Structure 1
Amino acid sequence: MKLPVILQTISQTLTKHHARAIIVGGSVRDHFLDLPIKDYDIEVYGLDSMESLEKILSAFGSVNHVGKSFGVLKFSHDGEEYDFSLPRREQKVGEGHRGFDVTVDGSMSFEEASRRRDFTINAIGYEVKAGRFLDPFGGREDMDQGVIRHIDEKTFVEDPLRVYRAVQFAGRFGYRLAESTKALCQQMVDSGMLESLPKERIYVEWVKLLLKSRKPSIGFEMMKELDALRYFPELEALIGVAQDPKWHPEGDVWVHTMMCLDVMAEEIAERRQQGAEMEESQKLKYLFAILCHDLGKATTTTFDDDGRIRSIGHEEAGVELTRSLMYRLTNAHDFIESLLPLVAHHLKPSQFYRANAGNKAIRKLATKVTIGELVVVARADFLGRTTPEALRGEYRAGEWLLKKAEELKVACKPMDNLLMGRDLIALGLTPSAQFSEILDEVYELQLADTLASKAEALAYVKERYIE
C-alpha cells in the first residue's frame, strides 16, 4: 500500500518507542477498490497515553486537539491533515451518537479494537512497519463477494446510523447486504431506532450516497426494501403511482425517479471524466432536484374515464413536497430554495419545444430559473425512461432550448435591466413606489424585443412619464 512519506517516517519513530502504526478504515478499503485515497486514519498501538502520541507527532508537524476526548488527534504536515488515534473502547451509556463512554487503551489488540467498527470491509488494517494487511473479520473476502456484513451484533445496533451507512455503501460499491446484516437492519428500522437520529447525520450519509455512487438507486432501493422510506413519506408516496405508458413504459413514478437519478449520476461522472468537474454543491443541486422532480405526481395523478393517466400540475405541487422532504434532511434554506425552480419548471423545455416558444417566453423563463441548469435536470428526466428516444439518448427539446437561450444570452442568467433607479432619477423623476412599476414595465418590453437599447428605454420613459 502506497503511503505518504511522512507516515513512513512517523512509523519508524514509533517503532523506536515500541509502538506500531496501522492504517485503518476507508483508506485501506479504497486501496483494494482502486479508488483514490483522500484521507488517512492511523491507529497507534503500544503507547500508554494520548500525551505520548502528541509529543511524538509534534516533532513532525502541528497537532490539533479537536477530537482528543474521543482519542483522536488531527496532525498537519505540509498542508495535509491526518487523523491519529489510539485504539479505544466504547461503552453505550446514553441516547444518541454522543452517548458513549470512550477510553483509550494502547495495549489492545488490533482485532479487539476493530470489533467496534461497523462492517468487515471497514475493519481491514495495514501495518506500516511490517508492510502487511490485517483482516481479522474477513473483510477482503466480503469485498470479493460484494457483501456488506456487520462485525458484532451487540455493538452494531448501538448506532442506528449504521443502517444508512449500509445503504450508502451498497449504492457506492454495488454491494448487497449479508442476510444476517439485512435482518439486523430490518429489526432496527421496525423498532423505531432510526427516529432518534438527528437529520444532520442522516444528511451526511445521503450526500455520500448521491455523490459517490454511479447508481444511487441501489441505495434508495435498499431503503425501500428495509422500509426506511417510512421516514421520508414524500418519496415513499411515489411507489405504485401509475404513469401513462406512452410516455413512461418503464413503470411507476418510483421506478422512473430511480432511473432519472442514475442518469444524473452518470452525467456528472461523464463530465468529470471530460475534465468538466463541478463544485460539490452543484452536483448535489442536480441530484436532489432530479430526486424531487416528480414528487407532485403522488398528489395529482388521476385516471380519466377512458383510463388515461394524467398528473396535471404536478410540477407546482412538487414544490412544497420538495421543501418538506429536504427540511427532513437539512436546514440549508438557501440550498433548498435553489432546488424549487428546477422542480417547478422541469417540463418547460419539452413544452417550449413543442410550442416553438418565442424569445419573450424564453427570456421570461430565464427570470425564474437558470436555463442551463434546467436543461440538465430535464434531460435526466427525459432519459430516465424506456421510450425509444430515451434509449437512443436523444433529447432534442433540451438541445433546442439551450441553443435558443445561448443565442439570447440568457442560458446562465436573466437579461440585464436596461434601466436602473438611478437612470430614472437622472431623468428628473422623484423616487417613489412608481419606480418599480416603471422599471418592471420597461423590463417587460425588453423581454418582448420592443426595447433593445438603453437609449430606446430612456426615450420611452420620457415620452410616457415626463411631460
Structure 2
Amino acid sequence: MDKPSFLFSIFDRINLMEKPEQISRENSKPRIYKGLDAEAYYVKFLEHFYFEEAVAFEAVIDLAKNIEDAGGKAMMAGGAVRDEIMGNISKDWDIEVYGFQPEKIKEIAAQFGTINEVGASFGIIKLRVGNMEIDLSLPRRESKTGKTHKDFAAEFDPNMTTEEASRRRDFTMNSLAKNILTGEIEDYFGGIDDIKNKILRVTDEERFKDDALRILRGAQFVGRFGLSAEQKSLESMRSMTGELKYLPKERFREEWLKLFLKSPKPSLGLAAAMDIGIFEAMHKNEIMPLPKTPQEPEWHPEGDVWTHTLMVTDEAAKIAREEMLDERESLIVILGAFCHDLGKPSTTKFENGRVRSIGHDEAGAEPTKKFLSDIGIEKSLCEPIVKTVIAHLRPSLLYNEKLKNIKHKDAVFRNLAKTIYPATMKELACVAKSDHLGRGPFPLPDSPGKFFVPEDYPAGDWFLERANNLNIVAEKPKSVISGQDLIKQGFETNERTGNVKFGEIIKLADLLRDEKEITREEILALISESKERPIDKLIEALKEKFSA
C-alpha cells in the first residue's frame, strides 16, 4: 500500500516495515507507536496555515500540561489520532481526561477558554478557544437500556484504564489513544495494522451493538477511506439494521453528508450500505428497485440503474472537487446525481425490443423528496436537489436540438433558470455532466474488443456558455426593467394598487424581451411614449405590442 510521507514519518521511527511481533488484539499491553509530539503537531498547523487551530492547540498543550502536573492524564482519542496515522492533520479533537472528577476538569479547563456543559450528562465538557470547540470527555462505560438513542446509561470512571476506555470505540482505527505531550500512541486492538491494510473492523462486538448509527458510520468510513469490512464485523453490522428505525433522522444526516462530501468515491460507501442492508431497512421503496431496473444497452452498457447511479455519483464528487464547489453546491450536485434516476423503476418498460424510461425525470421527484427527508436533509436544500432531478436531461436535450440546427431563443434558457430556481444552471450542468460521464464502457467503433468511456461533455460547455451570456449561470434571471425605471419615467406607485401594476408592467416587459426579443432600450422608449397617459394605458400598449 502506498503511504503518505506523513505516514512514513510515524512508521519509520519504529521500524514498522520489519515484521512486528504477533500479539493478541485483546492484550493489556498495547503496542506503543511514536506519533507527533505536541510541538511537532503544532508545527503541522502552521505549515498548513491553520493559524486559528494552532492557537487553539497551544491551549490544548497547556491544558494537558496542567492536567499532568495535577496528577491526571490527557489523551487525544478517536478520529484525530486515526487521521494522523493516515497522514492528515485533524481540526476536530476529542480529549479524554483521566484521574479527575468533572468539577476538577472544568476548574482546570476554565483557565484556557469558555466552558459549555451542554453535553455534561454524556460525560462531555466543551471548551471553546476562540472559534474552536474542543471536546473534553470523561472515561465512561455505556450500556443500552432501550430501543431509542436516548435509552443509554453512562457510568463515569476517572480511574478507568485506557484500554477499557478505548474498547467502547466503534472501530479499531478509532480506538487509538495518544499522549498529547509525548506523541506516544497506544494501540490495544490492532487499529494501526487495520489502517495500514485498509480494513474496517469492529473493536468490541457487544459494545458496538449499543448504537445502530455505527453501521452507517461504517459505510461512510468505507467510502471516505477506501476500506473493506472484515467479515465478522460485516455480519455484526447486518444484524443491527432493524434498529435503525428507532433513530431520529437528524442523526443520519451527518453520516450521510460525510459519505457524500468527504469520499473520493462515494460509490464504495453506497455499495457497503447496500451490502450491509441499510437501504433494505430504511429506503426500500426508493433505492432497492434500482439494481433490478434494466437500461437500454445502447446508451447504458454498464447495466442496471444502480450500477449507473454509483458511477454517476462518483463523477459528481469528482466534478465538485474539480470545480471547487462550496458545501451547499456540492450537496446539490452530488445528491442530485445520486437521486437523478429514482424515477426509472416506475417508468421503465420494454417496448419494440428496447428499454424505455419515458418520463423518469419528473417521476423521480417524489422518491427523491422521500429519500432526502428520511436522511434528514432540510427542505431548503431538498428543493434545489429535486429541481435538478426533474431537469437533469434538459442540457443534453437542448444540445442535441442545437446539433440538428434548431435555434433556441434566450427565453428558453431564462425560463429554465427560473424553473429550476433555487438550483442554478451551473449545478444543473454539473448533474447532467455526471449523468453523461457515469456510463460505459462503450464498444469502440471499428475496433473489435476495444472500449471507451466518455471523457468530456460538450453539451455542458455549450449550455453554460449560453447561460453565461445571459448572466444566469449562478443566479435567477433579472427583469429587463425595474420599478425605479418606471418612477424615473414619471409613473407613481402607491401601496394599494401601484405595486401590483408595476409588477404587471415588469412581467410584460420580460415577455417582450424573451418572446419578441425586444431590447431594454426599445422597451424603455415604448414606456416613455406613454408616460403622459394613465398607467393602465401603458399596460394596454405593452399587451398590444406583445400580441402584434
TM (normalized to structure 2)? 0.79
Secondary structure, in 3 states, of the residue corresponding to 1:234? coil
1:196 equivalent in alignment to 2:246: yes
Aligned to 1:309: 355
Q: Is the 8 A contact 2:313 2:434 kept in 1?
A: yes
Q: Deviations over 1:38-85 (max 9, x none)?
A: 1111111122x1001111111222211121111111112244321112
Counterpart residue number, 1:30: 83
Shift in Å, 1:432: 9.0
Counterpart selection for 1:68 from 120, 126, 131? 120
Q: Is the Cα contact below 8 Å between 1:442 and 1:457 reproduced in 2? A: no
Deviation of 1:435 after TM superposition, in Å, equals 6.6
**Are 2:417 and 1:366 aligned?**
yes
Question: Residues 55 and 462 (structure 1 numbering): CA distance in 2 closer, same or farther, change over 3 Å?
Answer: same
Taking the aligned partners of 1:407 and 1:201, their CA distance within structure 2 comes to 43
The match for 1:115 among 149, 167, 190 is: 167
Provide the rounded CA distance (Å) in 2 between the counterparts of 1:465 and 1:112. 79
The partner residue of 1:225 within 275, 296, 301 is: 275
- Rate the CA distance shift 1:331–1:244 in 2: closer, same or farther, 3 A: closer
SS state at 1:368 partner: helix
Structure-2 residue corresponding to 1:39: 92
Deviation at 1:439, TM superposition (A): 4.2
Find the structure with the greater CA-based Rg.
2
Q: Which residue of 2 aligns with 1:6?
A: 59
Taking structure 1 as reference, are residues 160 and 215 closer, same or farther at Cα in structure 2, changes over 3 Å only? same
How much does 1:434 deviate?
7.2
Amino acid aligned to 2:350:
F
Specify the SS of the correspondent of 2:239. Answer: helix
Question: C-alpha displacement at 1:299, in angstroms?
Answer: 0.8
What is the distance in 2 between the residues matched to 1:38 and 1:288?
26
2 CA distance for matches of 1:295 and 1:348? 17
Q: Which moved more, 1:390-399 or 1:369-378?
A: 390-399
Provide closer, same or farther for how the CA distance between residues 452 and 86 of structure 1 changes in structure 2, counting only shifts above 3 A.
same
- The structural deviation recorded for 1:315 is 0.8
What are the Cα deviations for residues 387-440 of structure 1, in whole angstroms up to 9, with x where unaligned?
559824110111111111112222223432234567678547955977766543
What amino acid does structure 2 have at the position aligned with 1:17? A
Kindly tell me: are residues 427 and 465 of structure 1, through their superposed partners in 2, closer, same or farther at Cα, counting changes over 3 Å?
farther
| Matched residue SS, 2:164 | helix
Which runs of structure 2 are paired with 1:138-157 in the superposition (5 Å)? 138-157=190-209
The alpha carbon displacement at 1:463 in A equals 2.6
In structure 2, C-alpha distance between the alignment counterparts of 1:53 and 1:414, rounded to whole Å: 53
* Structure 1 residues 464 and 449, CA gap change in structure 2 (3 angstroms): closer
Where do 1:34-433 residues align within 5 Å? 34-47=87-100, 49-189=101-241, 192-230=242-280, 231-232=282-283, 233-271=285-323, 276=324, 278-305=325-352, 307-330=353-376, 332-356=378-402, 357-358=407-408, 359-369=410-420, 370-386=424-440, 391-420=453-482, 427=491, 431=498
SS at match of 1:170: helix
Q: Partner amino acid for 1:400?
A: W
* In structure 2, distance between residues paired with 1:25 and 1:449: 63
Is the Cα contact below 8 Å between 2:253 and 2:377 reproduced in 1? no
Instruction: Specify which of 505, 514, 518 is matched with residue 447 of structure 1.
Output: 514
Report deviation, 1:448: 2.6
> Relative to structure 1, is the Cα distance of residues 465 and 182 closer, same or farther in structure 2, using a 3 angstrom cutoff?
closer
Give how far 1:376 is off.
0.9
8 Å CA contact 2:333–2:431 kept in 1: the answer is yes
- State the distance in 2 between where 1:78 and 1:439 align: 49
Residue segments in structure 2 that go unaligned for 5+ positions in a row: 1-35, 43-56, 445-451, 530-537
Compared with structure 1, are the counterparts of its residues 243 and 7 closer, same or farther at alpha carbon in structure 2 (3 Å cutoff)?
Answer: same
Q: Deviations over 1:229-267 (max 9, x none)?
A: 121121222112111111111111111110010011112
Partners of 1:95 and 1:167 lie apart in 2 by: 21
The alignment of Structure 1 onto Structure 2 pairs a total of residues equal to: 457
Conserved? CA contact 1:419–1:457, under 8 Å = no
| SS of equivalent residue, structure 1 residue 81 | strand
SS at match of 1:59: coil
> What SS is found at the alignment partner of 1:245?
coil
CA distance in structure 1 between the aligned counterparts of 2:434 and 2:229, rounded to whole angstroms: 29
8 Å contact from structure 1 (residues 234, 321) kept in 2: yes
- TM-score (normalised: structure 1): 0.92
Distance 1:433 1:131, change over 3 A: closer
CA offsets 1:89-145 (integer angstroms, 9 cap, x no match): 112223322211112211010001111111111000101344311011110011111
Instruction: For 1:44, give the aligned amino acid.
Output: V
Q: Does the 8 Å contact 2:439/2:454 carry over to 1?
A: no
Separation (CA, whole Å) in 2 of partners of 1:127 and 1:155: 24
User: Residues 176 and 185 of structure 2 are in contact (CA less than 8 Å); yes or no, is this contact kept in structure 1?
Assistant: yes
| Residue 23 (structure 2) aligns with | none
Percent identity (aligned): 36
CA contact (8 A) 2:333 2:428 kept: no
